[in-house]
Structure 1
Amino acid sequence: MIQGKTVLAVIPARGGSKGVPRKNIRQLAGKPLIAWTIEAAQQSAYLDRIVVSTEDEEIAEVARQYGAEIPFLRPRELAQDDTPGIDPVLHAVECLPFYDFVVLLQPTSPLREASDIDRCIEMCVSRGERACVSVTAADKPPQWMYQLDRDFRLQPIVPQAQLLTRRQDAPHVFVLNGAVYVAQTEWLKRSRSFLTENTAAYVMPKERSLDIDSELDLRIAAELLKATT
């Protein structure tokens, strides 16, 4: 709870991940991937309830072992490859009403800390924001990004009158890192997205912003965790 407002954390973890099979319960530095997010959530000063939304019995059992609640199994139609990411969150707040704020914590961000969760919540609540999401500085400016046409020629993403050659001349840009999403629950039910013109940003450092999407990401995360534990 924060300033008298209740906060629900939702950790979505479907069983059918494709890039890294059974990703959410793959071992990472001695524990399942999802455990890192559950444990960070448990250390938060503000989360009143931590639930895992899954359709998968094995993931549910692993989550219970690490102290998360499984108050329902997610309908399988909300666990497909093409299911929008917001749908499991909206399903969760319909099943568990009366929380003032909802926090989405994706299990693919194992380096996120409890302090990141809390600072994002604080920013949302203290400033009266509708939503706040975590971001990190982009590796490359958009002026250095291109699409390829059918002849494999470069087509700039951002048209520019003069080629940008020095990083120092590039604007500071940020990307979503997928670690923390916070929103007023009733507002989220209406907007059906954490990302609108009303969304504020909480900036996280690169070293805590790794999003697990491949086997290489798992190896990188393992090395980073080895260095900090």
Structure 2
Amino acid sequence: MNILGLIPARGGSKGIPGKNSKILGGKPLLQYTYEAAKQAKLLNKLILSSDSEEIIQLATQLDLEVPFKRPASLAQDSSSSIEVAMHALNYYLDQGIKFDAICLLQPTTPFRKTGLIDEAIQKFKDGGFDSLISVREVPKAYNPHWVFEENQGALRIATGEKEIISRRQDLPKAYHRDGAVYLTKTTVLLNKNSLFGKNIGFVNTSAYPYINIDTQEDWKRAEEILGNKS
């Protein structure tokens, strides 16, 4: 299986200006994801997609390939990961180069356990999934079977059940995306305009440190995690 590793890193960021090139623990945020991806043996190619000359220059210094400059139209707050991934795949398709799948690796999730990317790719291959994502277990108190949503001024169980599950022990496990790894078959992405498809595999990262950096508070938490590691 021919897999394209893609690190998306646009220049604009309202929550933390210059986030992707900002220094965290002595190195740019982008470098954490690059180093994790560089260690992966099952990625056939690794590239950066960015609209920022500063980030492209940083990538060049890291020896991270930048085959194109991302169009400004795909570097807005409203731009989706699907659009960015499709742009990269179509760039190579125009050259007659086909990838079976794409592995999206967001710089905003810098702390990945060693071997996570290869573990995810191997499970993706073996399971024949449309996609595979890294997830963390939802705490029992926030399990969707115990979550309510508003319904015409009243509340109803978010999962649509008539009766709430009363015992914590009976709650099924639930997970949320952690943003560290997204794997998607090219056919699913290009033909169905989806990062997920119907058959979604997962790897559970709940046992490892985690942060998805979006705000200044997240950045401080990332610094705390690094402090604890050292």
TM-score normalized by the length of structure 2: 0.87
Q: Deviations over 1:91-117 (max 9, x none)?
A: 011112322221100111101134111
1:63 aligned to 2:63?
no
Cα distance in structure 2, aligned partners of 1:18 and 1:150: 35
* Map of 2:202 onto structure 1: 201
Aligned mates of 1:80, 1:150 — CA distance in 2:
35
Within 5 Å, which residues of 2 pair with 1:107-146?
107-139=107-139, 140-146=142-148
Residue type of the alignment partner of 1:141 = N
- What amino acid is aligned across from residue 179 of structure 1 in structure 2? A
- Pick which of 160-169 and 71-80 moved more: 160-169
Q: Distance in 2 between matches of 1:98 and 1:135?
A: 28
- What is the deviation of 1:138? 1.1
- C-alpha spacing 1:31/1:160, structure 2 compared with 1 (3 Å): same
Q: Is the 8 A contact 1:179 1:209 kept in 2?
A: no
Q: CA separation in 2, counterparts of 1:18 and 1:206?
A: 31
What SS is found at the alignment partner of 1:207? coil
Secondary structure at the aligned position of 2:213 is classed as coil
Query: Aligned partner of 2:225: which letter?
Result: L
Contact 1:143/1:157, CA 8 A, preserved across alignment: yes
Matches of 2:156 and 2:22, distance apart in 1: 39
Regions of 4+ moved over 3 Å: 143-151, 153-169
Q: What TM-score, normalized by structure 1, do the two folds share?
A: 0.87
1:28 paired to 2:24: yes
Structure 1 stretches of 5 or more lacking a match?
A: none
Q: What's the CA shift for 1:76?
A: 0.5
Evaluate the alpha carbon distance shift between residue 65 and residue 145 of structure 1 in structure 2; reply closer, same or farther with a 3 A threshold.
farther
Indicate conservation of the 8 Å contact 1:55/1:75, yes or no: yes
Q: Kindly tell me: are residues 164 and 28 of structure 1, through their superposed partners in 2, closer, same or farther at Cα, counting changes over 3 Å?
A: farther
Out of 4, 8, 15, the residue aligned to residue 8 of structure 1 is 4
Letter in 2 for 1:221: A
State the superposition RMSD in angstroms. 2.3
